[in-house]
Chains A and B, each alone.
Chain A
Amino acid sequence: MKFKWIIPTLYIIFLMLPIYWLLNMSFKTTNEIINTFSLWPINFTFENYIKIFTDSTWYMGYFNSLAYVLLNTILSVTAALPAAYAFSRYKFVGDKHLFFWLLTNRMAPPAVFALPFFQLYSSINLFDTHIAVALAHCLFNIPLAVWILEGFISAVPKELDETAYIDGYSFPRFFIKIFIPTITAGIGIACFFCFMFSWVELLLAKTLTSVEAKPIAATMTRTASTAGYELGLLAAAGSLTILPGAFVIYFVRNYIAKGFALGRV
């Protein structure tokens, strides 16, 4: 059992290899990528990154992605909070069916909705806006947020609510001043997962945008097909999309295990 650490180490190496390869490619010129095989860049270059940071169609892609992801995270968690509270604390007509109906949307294949989404958002003049993608991602993020938050709220003893009423707190004041601070960890985890799923989803984001709100990931696929096959540029753009995720994980690293422990992802 002494060499137990080898297994996670090997697994992490397997995980890091493709990422390393992407980084490696991003520092090479297209010429070098096509003509030689090397484990590290020989003619080390920042050319690909410079191109991304100076061309507005590229860097606006990052801005667009982050804009709708943040918008969606705020929207989902804000809407989900009172709903999760209601599901956790009250019995009401149709509660179980409603909860199940919400969950089915987490499980709906986005491909089924791609075309109708395009028509729906075109007809209300929201096509190609950040709001459209943020709203569309609510489809799977709100159910997720409700599910995660319901778990955390149910873990808070009901006596907290009752004591607050006896102390003369009104409901909104209790909810904002006392309740939200007690479930910060839960809110953090819900935000993390909303961010994650909105950031990685592309089918809907691509369907709902064309120029103004085009996400970075979609910029990548389109540029790759029109401007020949610029592997170096593609690799640089890809490497940059890994950063926000890595950044967010670092912040919530201590809560991740806790979030997964509830088994509600």
Chain B
Amino acid sequence: MNKVQNNKAWFFILPVIFLVAFNAVIPLMTVVNYAFQETFNNNIFTWQGTKWFENILRSERFYAAFGRQLLFTFIILLIQIPLGVFIALSMPKKGFGVSICLVLMSMPLLIPWNVVGAMWNIFALPRIGFLGHYLALLGFDYNFTQSIYAAWFTVILMDVWHWTSLVVLLCYAGLCAIPDPFYQAAKIDGASRWAVFKYIELPKMKKVLTIAILLRFMDSFMIYTEPFVLTGGGPGNATAFLSIDLVKMALGQFDLGNAAAMSLVYFLIVLLLSWIFYSVVMKGEDK
């Protein structure tokens, strides 16, 4: 669309800028403030330069949390994306089944995140929870509060439960946009199911799939509430992802300097990811 050059359009954007800047710029400057200074209770600040950043970038704690975060994100992407595509492909295209599928599948997305954690806690409790009970019956030594593997298994299963639907809905929307003649042409050519997927469905889903991958990537990078309620970051620090570790440092230990420096490093990582996201999506739209 041809856009008109008009700088008065700024007035339309003022309310948005005011509201978002109030919530983004002021807190960010507070964080920056803490990241370069030492503070004591009586509001006296002393300049510390890059001390906190050096601390954080040399601390094993940060790299351990970052490593756990990357591993978690990698695993859930590996499960959720193929699973989401697979389910979207087998969903009905019309009839009353569509509404049922859409409504039921969106359910997990609208449950408050800590209820998701609490729900999975109850579901996975050893002995009295459904999952815990039956895994024990099958002979697994399953206790997510004690075993690292069980904790990771539960957190990942919970995330798959919580977010796969987002991938399904995005892919489904992409699939619905494919006109019927495409399939008819494929049928006439005698294309196999795999060929239809590879040459028709996958290319058409490319855009929504990119968005799904990047959204899941970013959102899983900020995950906090669900694992915090489910495992509290434990056992030990086994499921303390970046956000959990950060909040522990800032609000639990009140280690403001280090926490602020970590926030900024974390924020820069996310900013880099957003930039990649933005470029990819906008490039797709220009075509």
Assess whether A263 is in contact with B208, with CB atoms less than 8 Å apart.
yes
Q: What class of interface size applies to chain A in its complex with B? A: 35 or more
A-B Cβ contacts below 8 A, count:
282
A22 and B125 CA atoms in complex are apart in Å by: 12
Are A249 and B224 in contact (CB-based, < 8 A)?
no
Contact partners of B234 in chain A: CB under 8 A = none
Asked if B118 is an interface residue, CB under 8 A from chain A, the answer is yes
Residues of B within 8 A of A109 (CB): 221-222, 224, 242-243, 246, 266-267, 270
Q: Does A110 sit within 8 A of B, measured CB to CB? A: yes
**Nearest CB in chain B to that of A100: its residue:** B278
A139 in the interface (beta carbon within 8 A): yes
Q: In the complex, which residues of chain B have a beta carbon less than 8 angstroms from the beta carbon of A5?
A: 90, 92, 97
Q: Kindly list chain B residues whose C-beta atoms are within 8 Å of the C-beta of A258.
A: 173
The residue on A at minimum CB distance from B193 is A1
Whether B59 is near chain A, meaning CB under 8 Å from some CB there, is: no
A142, chain B: closest CB distance, angstroms: 5
Do A265 and B26 touch (CB < 8 A)? no
Bound Cα distance A139, B113 (Å): 18
Say yes or no: B112 contacts A79, CB within 8 Å. Answer: no
Q: Give the contacts of B214-254 with A (CB-CB under 8 A).
A: 215, 218, 221-222, 224-225, 229, 242-244, 246-247, 250-251
Would you list the 6 A-B pairs with minimal beta carbon distance, nearest first?
A245-B110, A116-B27, A86-B12, A116-B30, A90-B9, A111-B243
Which A residues lie at the B interface, using CB under 8 A? 1, 4-5, 7-8, 11-12, 14-19, 21-22, 25, 33-34, 37, 75, 79-80, 82-83, 85-93, 95, 98, 100, 102-105, 107-117, 119-120, 135-136, 138-139, 142-143, 146, 154, 158, 196, 199-203, 216-218, 220-221, 224, 231, 234-235, 238, 241-242, 244-246, 248-250, 253-254, 256-261, 263-265
A-B contact pairs, 10 of them (CB 8 A): A5-B92, A16-B107, A22-B119, A92-B5, A92-B8, A111-B243, A115-B256, A196-B110, A249-B110, A256-B169
On B, residues with C-beta under 8 Å from A are 1-10, 12-13, 15-17, 19-20, 22-24, 26-28, 30-31, 86-87, 90-92, 97, 99, 101-115, 118-120, 122-123, 127-130, 133, 161, 164-166, 168-170, 172-174, 176-177, 193, 207-208, 211, 215, 218, 221-222, 224-225, 229, 242-244, 246-247, 250-251, 256, 259, 263, 266-267, 270-271, 273-275, 277-278, 281
